[in-house]
């Protein structure tokens, strides 16, 4: 007599991982002609290397089970820090490659395909635990996943080409246009597959998912969650972080 088929083993609830691509060189952050001593994510902002602010925000989110920082091969920054974060020197030539390599590392350390991963730029050091929680709340029951993003606040122009470069070619409709931010949150298995299919030029995780015919959820982020990209962004990031650290002045009765 054959034994009855065994009941399928129920999947354990998905966990939430954070993956921080931190392997860039910050070429646009270097002022024309000036050489930066360290990549932008390690430059001091409001008393700490920029990436430490980013990591502190994720460390405050209780639902994040584990966090992996992806740095460039040979980068020894975290060897000189007494920080509790897991670090993998598996950064690639592009951001997409750094993320794909980091996902591989997460799998090797026990992550499963149905776990969630929140990918977040090291250079978005102003993200807050509340914004991270808002993304998780909005996406954890979603079939695809999603990203923080901001509706376009300004009038949108396209630039001419050739002899018309530097001049407006057209004013484009901005309704329904959003600026993609991070974190971007997807199932680890799905994202890994999407990045394998996608070309290296995809500039965010959502684009790789979209290329599979799926539609990531847009979750409203904040203008303060900007990416430090150009030299002038450092002073703005510092001002915002310092304003958060300052004790609020009480208003006299």
Ligand X SMILES: Nc1ccn([C@@H]2O[C@H](COP(=O)(O)OP(=O)(O)OP(=O)(O)O)[C@@H](O)[C@H]2O)c(=O)n1
Residues lying near ligand X in the complex (CB under 6 A) are found at 21-29, 41, 70, 91-95, 98, 121-123, 227, 229
E strand map for the chain = 16-21, 44-45, 48-49, 64-70, 86-88, 116-119, 145-151, 156-159, 168-172, 178-187, 217-220
Tell me the closest approach of the beta carbon of residue 191 to ligand LQXTBERG, in angstroms: 13
Chain CA centroid to CA 185, Å = 9
Tell me the closest approach of the beta carbon of residue 205 to ligand LQXTBERG, in angstroms: 7
Which of 121, 126, 187, 208 forms a contact with ligand LQXTBERG (CB under 6 A)? 121
Task: Indicate the SS3 state at residue 222.
Answer: coil
In angstroms, the Cα distances linking 201 to 103, 151, 234 are 18, 24, 26
Measure the CA–CA gap between 43 and 38, rounded to whole angstroms: 6
Tell me the closest approach of the beta carbon of residue 102 to ligand X, in angstroms: 8
Contact present, 124 and 148 (Cβ < 8 Å): no
Nearer to ligand X, 37 or 175 (CB): 37
Nearer to ligand LQXTBERG, 81 or 214 (CB): 214
Tell me the closest approach of the beta carbon of residue 252 to ligand LQXTBERG, in angstroms: 43
The reply on whether position 204 binds ligand LQXTBERG by CB under 6 A is: yes
Nearer to ligand LQXTBERG, 81 or 224 (CB): 224
The reply on whether position 236 binds ligand LQXTBERG by CB under 6 A is: no
Nearer to ligand LQXTBERG, 8 or 153 (CB): 153
Which residue's Cβ has the minimum distance to ligand X? Answer: 24
Tell me the closest approach of the beta carbon of residue 101 to ligand LQXTBERG, in angstroms: 15
The reply on whether position 180 binds ligand LQXTBERG by CB under 6 A is: yes
E strand map for 86-133 = 86-88, 116-119
Contact present, 222 and 240 (Cβ < 8 Å): no
The torsion angles phi and psi of 167, rounded to 5 degrees, stand at -125, 155
Contact present, 100 and 196 (Cβ < 8 Å): yes
Structure tokens at 213: 């015919």
Residues making contact with ligand LQXTBERG (CB under 6 A): 95, 121, 180-182, 203-204, 227
């Amino acid at each position: 007599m054959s034994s009855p088929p065994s009941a399928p083993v129920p999947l354990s609830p998905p966990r939430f991982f954070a993956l921080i691509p931190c392997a860039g060189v910050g070429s646009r952050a270097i002022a024309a002609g000036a050489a930066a001593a360290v990549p932008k994510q390690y430059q001091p902002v409001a008393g700490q290397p920029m990436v430490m602010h980013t990591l502190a925000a994720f460390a405050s989110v209780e639902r994040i089970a584990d966090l992996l920082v992806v740095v460039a091969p040979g980068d020894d920054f975290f060897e000189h820090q007494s920080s509790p974060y897991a670090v993998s020197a598996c950064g690639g030539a592009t951001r997409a490659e750094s993320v794909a390599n980091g996902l591989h590392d997460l799998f090797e350390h026990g992550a499963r395909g149905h776990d969630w991963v929140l990918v977040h730029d090291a250079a978005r050091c102003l993200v807050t635990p509340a914004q991270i929680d808002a993304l998780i709340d909005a996406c954890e029951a979603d079939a695809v996943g999603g990203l923080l993003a901001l509706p376009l606040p300004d009038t949108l122009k396209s630039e001419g080409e050739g002899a018309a470069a530097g001049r407006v070619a057209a004013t484009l409709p901005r309704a329904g246009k959003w600026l993609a931010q991070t974190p971007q949150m997807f199932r680890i298995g799905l994202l890994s597959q999407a990045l394998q299919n996608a070309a290296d030029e995809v500039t965010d995780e959502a684009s790789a998912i979209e290329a599979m015919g799926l539609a990531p959820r847009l979750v409203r982020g904040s203008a303060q969650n900007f990416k430090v990209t150009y030299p002038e962004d450092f002073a703005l990031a510092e001002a915002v972080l310092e304003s958060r650290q300052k004790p609020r002045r009480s208003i006299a009765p």
